[in-house]
Chains A and B, each alone.
Chain A
């Protein structure tokens, strides 16, 4: 004889609890943290390379870099002037709250104002794992195509801001900006959007100003 117990419990509970602990730790040390997510090649590391030098005079910046195996991105972040910590996920396709916790352990948080977390390049899995960062940012890029919100809705759904990188390529690529933005608007109404080009530096000022306002 079996007996049914009807209970509704969110399954991500454990990760979310850890993410909340990370957030508390960041808040106590007065660190503002951003989680940068994107597919491989969209420009996460390039955006960090442009963001860090622009703000390094005002804030102490750290970068936690999630990568499947290499440390190329962490070295680029360090070269840009940030304290960089590498987390090799050992094959995992995303960072989770435990991995971020391990990254935080390697930093003197009291000495950090702005923490940029570079997630693993992936448009599916990072969406499912809260880290405890204050803002979640997705970088889309023009060559990926304008159908991405329709194909990867979960990724677009939960972010606080959207960067559209490589806008200098718009004249050369079939990217229907209206179609793209209509999809985004349905998934994430009113989301803050920064069209930029890391190559020509177009739009970077607005992005950097936004970060500055958040950290201040």
Chain B
């Protein structure tokens, strides 16, 4: 359910950037989604197809990069993805660990097309 307001926020951001760049159309949108933000790509895409209609970003392709929950051990400094039942470091067993990635929910770029400029006349 909650993908709709996120999709709306994404559309607003993309259109804002497109306007700034004087784009004619937004072709692609790149999004990073961390595991902890628990959003479903398919739902965002579903809402996107509906709410982007009639805007500069209509038909833009959404590219999701999923970022898994990642932790780093403070004892041996190794970086790992925790298992379902434990946050302990798989290398040394320490539970002195902290989260280093997986909380993202951000737009990291858009591809735009500019209005056709009249070409220089080539003689």
Interface residues of A (CB under 8 A from B): 1-15, 91-94, 96, 124-125, 127-129, 147, 150-151, 153-154, 157, 182-183, 185-187, 189
Contacts and interface: CB of A to CB of B under 8 A. Distances in A.
Contact of A125 (B2, B86, B95, B114): B2
Contacts of B87: 150, 182-183, 186-187
A137 to B, nearest CB: 19
Interface string B75-92: 000000010111100000
B95 A182 contact: yes
Contacts, number: 105
Given A6-B108, A11-B31, A13-B13, A154 B5 contact: no
20 contacts: A2-B113, A3-B112, A5-B17, A5-B21, A5-B110, A8-B106, A9-B106, A11-B6, A11-B10, A11-B13, A14-B12, A96-B2, A124-B38, A125-B2, A129-B2, A150-B84, A150-B87, A157-B36, A186-B87, A186-B95
B8 interface: yes
Given A2-B27, A2-B111, A150-B86, A11 B106 contact: yes
Given A11-B13, A182-B95, 8 more contacts: A4-B109, A7-B108, A11-B6, A11-B9, A128-B38, A150-B82, A157-B36, A186-B99
